[in-house]
Amino acid sequence: MIDKKGAPGGLSWARFEAIAADSAQWLWGTAQGAFNEKASTSQIIVDAVIGMIPLVGDGTAVRDLIAVSIGLADDPKKRDDVWQWALLVILLFALIPVLGGVIKGVGRLLIRLGVTLAHTKGLARSRLVIEAAQDIVALLNRLGEGNAERFLKRLNFEHYQSQIMGKFHDFIYTINGVLVSINRKTANTRLLSWFAEASAALTKKLNWLLEKGQSMIPQALKTLNDTLKEIQAVVYSGGQTTSKTVAHTAASGEKAAVHYADELKLLEGEGALISARGGWQQNPASLDKAEKKGLYKHDPGYPDLGLRASDISTYSGKIVNRALEPGETIYRVFGPVRAEGVHGYKQGGAALAAGNPKYTNKFWGIGPPPKTAEEWRHLSAVLDEWNHDGFMLVGTIKEPNRVKGCVGKISEQAGDKIKGQYLTGGGKQVMLEIPGELAGKLNSIGDKVIAEGKPQTLLLDGVEWVIRPTGWKDVNGIHGYGQLAKQAGVQTARLGTREQASKEHRNE
């Protein structure tokens, strides 16, 4: 009598028996080379072996693993396509308890984005990344993954390389073992000759795949990570997604509690719009209009953006007046003028570490400092005509209520002096009032770092300051020239030569 509770893979016996019956038809199709991604479920061997892989209860995941694996082994074009290997890697995550379902969904969205980005440049690329970030956060929210943005920020595919390699090895050997087992069971039947030939060919292909995977899987993980970093850049910069990043009390019937500081952070960039070209639309360069739209209002004790209305247009969406918290990071990029200029244009003066001491209001990046020149240029919308780079000043807030500023999302910018450059923005910036004495000290140390090329660290006014070379080699004349900017759509913030050293240092 059949044990009704003993069917492999958690299947009902009726389902398992149907799968077993279908396996013969699948093997015949495979022997004739009929296997392809469009094959029906009954044609794919996973439906016959799902119960023999105890860690997996998802027949679809195993079926897809088999389909992708054989596709890699059969098709020469796929063998060298890193995105095909990336798909295999994502499916292998299904064999890792807990992570499988979440990574499978996120990974497929990343692969779709990565394949598209390979053929996309300029504004369309930025738009695709933003949309993908929204889709991924929405997916994580539907899956109940807690704080979706925090999960994304921490995700690193390469951290799982050893586990993925191990699961890949186990997977191939499991399938080969199943083929041997079925071969033995058909030894005394008419199926013997053709099945032996088919299974031997498949085993050879899978073993070849196992060897090839030693080099391609690490490459695929890195490629996934590279695409993930573009999504993370949107999340880190405060880009518009669908998840809130504050913790709420879960007491039944109670109103969710939100810390005031967190509430202010949620408002930063609220109402920011995507422009027709894919960047973050500028606020009106008018204090009156900004106030009427609820985008900005000056509060005593904070910088006054109304003193120069064009500063308001460097933001997109709501601008929040708040004190920076201990642990938050601000930064500026600075450096000497390039003697040869950029695309025929030469700056009027060097960019100072803390800007011109005569002007107290300065733009700073807020959040993790950019890791690359491309990230800095695009998210911070820092035009070549404003800043030639070379060095970075990073400040970490150490004391509460010491540093107050106007925080918001950075708007798009189009070149004025250098035509054809367009940068989408999307990072975060803060306007701070920096006393002339402090600015003078930071500038002096900045000059020393430029001269010696060695980082300097100091503690001033409740902030730990680090001044260091960026090491970037691709800063000038490269980023933002993929498509000619249509000047009529963007009003570039007009900055006097003396103040270029403030706006030019906006960063994430």
Angstrom distances, CA of residue 121 to CA of 129, 229, 325, 330: 11, 17, 37, 30
HEC string for 240-279: CCCCCCCCCCCCCCCCCCCCHHHHHHHHCCCCCCECCCCC
Quote the CA–CA distance of 389 and 471 in Å, as a whole number. 10
Q: Which residue has the tokens 């996934």?
A: 224
Quote the CA–CA distance of 80 and 72 in Å, as a whole number. 9
CB atoms near residue 8 (< 10 Å): 15
Q: State the pLDDT at residue 507.
A: 38
Secondary structure (3-state) at 420: coil
Quote the CA–CA distance of 147 and 247 in Å, as a whole number. 8
DSSP character string of 24-92: HHHHHHHHTT---TT--GGGSTHHHHGGG-TT---HHHHHHHHHHHHHHHH-HHHHT-HHHHHHHHHHH
DSSP state of 501: H
Quote the CA–CA distance of 98 and 95 in Å, as a whole number. 9
Q: Which residue has the tokens 């090491």?
A: 471
CB atoms near residue 287 (< 10 Å): 20
Angstrom distances, CA of residue 198 to CA of 44, 182, 204, 483: 14, 12, 10, 53
Task: Map out the domains of the chain as residue ranges.
Answer: 8-236, 260-503
One-letter identity of residue 367? G
Q: pLDDT tens digits, the chain, 508 residues: what are they? A: 334 444 444 445 454 444 444 444 444 444 333 333 433 323 334 443 344 343 444 555 666 777 788 888 888 788 888 999 999 998 888 777 656 567 877 888 898 888 888 777 766 777 788 888 888 887 777 666 567 777 888 889 999 899 999 989 988 888 787 777 766 765 665 555 666 777 788 888 888 889 999 999 999 999 999 999 888 887 766 544 434 332 222 222 333 333 445 545 556 677 777 776 778 889 999 999 999 999 999 999 999 999 998 999 999 999 999 999 999 999 999 887 665 667 766 665 567 777 777 777 789 999 999 988 888 888 899 988 887 678 999 999 999 889 999 999 999 999 888 888 899 898 999 999 888 888 889 989 999 999 999 999 999 999 999 999 998 888 888 888 864 333 323 333 333 332 343 344 343 3
